[in-house]
Structure 1
């Protein structure tokens, strides 16, 4: 008698059950359904199994990623069913179904919003739920996310809700769907989450930032008003510390790739140098990466968290400079240093890099002055703040620099730039000049100090051809006695910054932050 059992062919690759369900749901893989059932909504048993299984966000995203916007519109029966059931499960009290639903929903939203639609708002609504159901479903989703973030006792569940909200806001930023987050204020819930989980990382801060910048120039924004009226000092401290912690993580990612510190000679380093690492006391310490490994690690940076520092590392100097962004950076520096000067706070920092960066910018502007002079606002918005900032540091640096050596280094850098200063002033001096304007005053002060020390070093060179670092430092300090430092109070003043005057640049920055936030939520 023949056996009723038949041998199944062994698959080439074993895939998790959840991946098979993804493929079945979105009709990527051929299944056993008849032609008339191809677009049918899955059964209740399918959904129960679907949300009980551990999700694979990346695999779901990879399955949906090849589909075009039109192809998504053609399978809207499945997308409607998935979106509707995911919201119902995510807002339920059943665990782990609710957490699994949030993760699946995050990957689904990241894939859906990543398409190019002919009519973004209309097409996205058709893909997600259809015009008849979108209002109810998105309202349920936003209300459910707010409730989870505010009340759930599981911090991991709350974090997943924040990431899901981030995927929704960042993805739908150019559509009308973000308006549902305006109607349901998530700010108190997000602040409570930050209080309960101070080490929550970047997502809640990015989410608050995106919501506060949504259509803020066109309509009243509840999150913008919340931030403007914010007076809770403890919460403000948490926001500042959380942002600083995220920036520190990004910085540490670069520092961890390559140890730039010079190793002092010791028994361990000596044994390593002669090839006897096995005898070294630090033999169990992991070896530093090779040059190729370090390059691979460095190329992987920055991480998705780098979206918060985009303006810090995207600063390539080119002939068509982003005048407003450079002006904004210089204005922030002037405000920070002004606060240090007023409070007499001595800050330990990499000051030589700051002096070098400012003077290198001056050299760049001087070198390409023929091309720069035609850029709108280059003199008033860039050259004048640059000159005033350096003059301010020169006149008040002794109040906020940590030690005399840091102050001496500023003078030394200025002496090195003695040939650039007059050329910079000549290239961007206003013609005709009605009296001494702010730019001319600052440049005259810098040139005066540079010339003063240049003459002193000229006298020293007549006695001795080469000067040691100690001798150079002595000349700089002795020169203080005969130096008239600039003391114009105008160097440290600034105009109150107005967002309305920089709408175009701010909108550009917001678009970039939104694009990075999409990648952040996707990962």
Structure 2
């Protein structure tokens, strides 16, 4: 391998005028010698003081580190250790410029070292930087220095540089639980300085980074030991902190959504006809020819969508952790919706990214939560990779937790408190266009239905479908218990659920290896239909909604007949057996024939329809005539009233979701390391 010290590139080594002699930047000359294993500081008492006055050539330093091997690094570990220690010493000096240069040096040095694939990551990192014997002396001083600069740095730039250095260290390994350096941040936590940066006007532009670092630290070995960041996160009471976090979250969501719209503007997609879900079989349809506008400079929209969302969407982890751990935050979220006038017709989700001002304190005309729902719609409909699946998990878990909260549910179900939310309309089948003010619970249902409709694949993401169905079930349970009549296009739910059942039935042979998980999805979808059949009177807005439900069930008679044979052969959760996940149906509700009422409806009305056709001597029948027959024969229909259809197991992260969230955390840390600066 060519030595990095002999590499030449523009801006680092330049020819002198009129001669072949090459003049080297002093910084380059010093580090060239440094990486050869020489000690340029020998016999130079002012060497380090002068070095840290030089502007750091990050490009050159990073290039040197990228081109040197692990073994070569270990061979010059004395130089590496000396540079690390001298940089820490310089961070404590009074000179602001030296501090910043020292931090820039450390960031480049540590990023280069962390990028190496050491056999024993933590052991060899510590060996390089301090040696094992000095680690417990040097690293606490290092963390304390970072903490002091974040808290009391002379300028906003110094505070940000210290924050940036902390991020480099904490995220050195995408699996933060295997980065033992993070243990030093547990012993001397930087929670208060991070909160100070989040709230201070002069550091408002880096609030995103501070919020993310705080939450990543709160996830470090949180199930194995006491985590001071998580404990303090749970106990946050300051509503100014909640407000700032939601402001940053909402702004980030709008920016991330704008990248989807830049690929394909879906604002006028409602003008074009798309086939109903009943004919949708889950294939990935073409991006073109569906009437949606597409920007001419995007040659391959499908490939462009796969690369989204932006890495900054990693902030969704913060939202999840607060919703899951801090009830005061959920209450604040509800209050942030309540504070808008009842007559408000929010346009918040129509904001273009170019309208975001340089200040994070922008004037809003709708709740922050609307921006989260909007980006959720786009992300869930374009879920095509393991990376997007990680974020889909986070989104659906957030929704599950929120719709379990009775206070939050009351707010989002208020018919008088309506908002407009822009939802994704880039992929058929399209839901009814709802560009009018409505309760947010209807928006949540649309977001979830969008996921169900656009992720029907033979490699079915059963965990995500269980969560999505769990959201619908929890909402219906709340509506039923509180007798809330929700104006909503309920027929879309029936079509989506029946479409899901039909898809599973037609591909049942492909699900043999994952049969238990698929069975759980089947049971959850059937349970929602049973809940609606039995208790729809409590939450449907009008009789026609019931008619629509029965009409869709009758239309899907063949599907339910096919499912009957599967359900009869399927050993669903038995009484006393452990539940597979937090979204699985309770044992007591599985003791009756889950298709009994549905089959009764199909049989009862099919006989009535055939009788009507015979009496009227016709071979076919119109939908209007079917509706008329349904209305005329409710009185003779006898159904069972199963118990506990509205019961569910409340969400708990432990133990079912711990492995999943650890995988998600790695994706989020990796994304955070390649984040964009969204707020300038």
TM-score for both structures, normalised by structure 2:
0.56
Of 168, 193, 217 in structure 2, the residue corresponding to residue 189 of structure 1 is 193
Contact 1:387–1:442 (Cα < 8 Å) also in 2: yes
Q: Does 1:437 align with 2:589?
A: yes
Contact 2:84–2:129 (Cα < 8 Å) also in 1: yes
Q: Does 1:122 align with 2:128?
A: no
Q: Does 1:503 align with 2:504?
A: no
Structure with higher helix content: 1
Cα distance change of structure 1 residues 75 and 495 upon mapping to structure 2, 3 Å threshold:
same
Q: CA deviation at 1:18?
A: 4.6
Of 237, 249, 266 in structure 2, the residue corresponding to residue 231 of structure 1 is 237
Q: CA deviation at 1:418?
A: 6.0
Of 31, 34, 55 in structure 2, the residue corresponding to residue 25 of structure 1 is 34
Per-residue CA shift, 1:343-366, capped at 9, x if unaligned?
424116345524525646545544
Per-residue CA shift, 1:321-371, capped at 9, x if unaligned?
x9x999987665444445465442411634552452564654554444345
Q: Does 1:290 align with 2:297?
A: yes
The equivalent of 2:77 in structure 1 is 76
Q: Does 1:516 align with 2:671?
A: yes
Once the two structures are superposed, the pairs formed by residues 171-186 of structure 1 within 5 Å of their partners are 171=172, 173=176, 174-186=178-190
The equivalent of 2:38 in structure 1 is 38
Contact 2:33–2:40 (Cα < 8 Å) also in 1: no
Contact 1:415–1:454 (Cα < 8 Å) also in 2: yes
Higher deviation after alignment, 507-516 or 256-265: 256-265
Of 202, 209, 218 in structure 1, the residue corresponding to residue 215 of structure 2 is 209
Of structures 1 and 2, the one with the larger relative CO (CA 8 A, separation 6+) is 1
Q: Does 1:9 align with 2:20?
A: yes
Cα distance change of structure 1 residues 264 and 307 upon mapping to structure 2, 3 Å threshold:
closer
Once the two structures are superposed, the pairs formed by residues 114-513 of structure 1 within 5 Å of their partners are 114-152=115-153, 154-171=155-172, 173=176, 174-196=178-200, 197=203, 200-262=206-268, 288-292=295-299, 301-308=308-315, 316=384, 332-339=398-405, 341-343=409-411, 344-345=413-414, 346-347=439-440, 349=443, 350-351=446-447, 353-354=450-451, 356-357=453-454, 359=497, 362-375=501-514, 377-378=516-517, 382-388=521-527, 419-421=558-560, 423-424=562-563, 426-428=565-567, 430-431=570-571, 437-438=589-590, 490-491=645-646, 493-513=648-668
Cα distance change of structure 1 residues 505 and 338 upon mapping to structure 2, 3 Å threshold:
closer
Cα distance change of structure 1 residues 293 and 372 upon mapping to structure 2, 3 Å threshold:
closer
Higher deviation after alignment, 384-393 or 47-56: 384-393
Higher deviation after alignment, 481-490 or 227-236: 481-490
- Between the aligned partners of 1:155 and 1:133, the Cα distance in structure 2 is 32
Per-residue CA shift, 1:278-299, capped at 9, x if unaligned?
xxxxxxxxx9542328678656
Secondary structure of 1:291's aligned partner: coil
Cα distance change of structure 1 residues 493 and 89 upon mapping to structure 2, 3 Å threshold:
same
- Between the aligned partners of 1:406 and 1:252, the Cα distance in structure 2 is 36
The CA RMSD over aligned residues, in Å, is 5.1
Higher deviation after alignment, 425-434 or 59-68: 425-434
Per-residue CA shift, 1:272-324, capped at 9, x if unaligned?
xxxxxxxxxxxxxxx95423286786565443324446996695599xxx9x9
Secondary structure of 2:132's aligned partner: coil
- Between the aligned partners of 1:302 and 1:93, the Cα distance in structure 2 is 42
Q: CA deviation at 1:179?
A: 1.0
Secondary structure of 2:245's aligned partner: helix
- Between the aligned partners of 1:334 and 1:488, the Cα distance in structure 2 is 22
Cα distance change of structure 1 residues 477 and 25 upon mapping to structure 2, 3 Å threshold:
farther
Q: CA deviation at 1:448?
A: 7.3
Cα distance change of structure 1 residues 441 and 201 upon mapping to structure 2, 3 Å threshold:
farther
Cα distance change of structure 1 residues 388 and 190 upon mapping to structure 2, 3 Å threshold:
farther
Q: CA deviation at 1:159?
A: 2.7
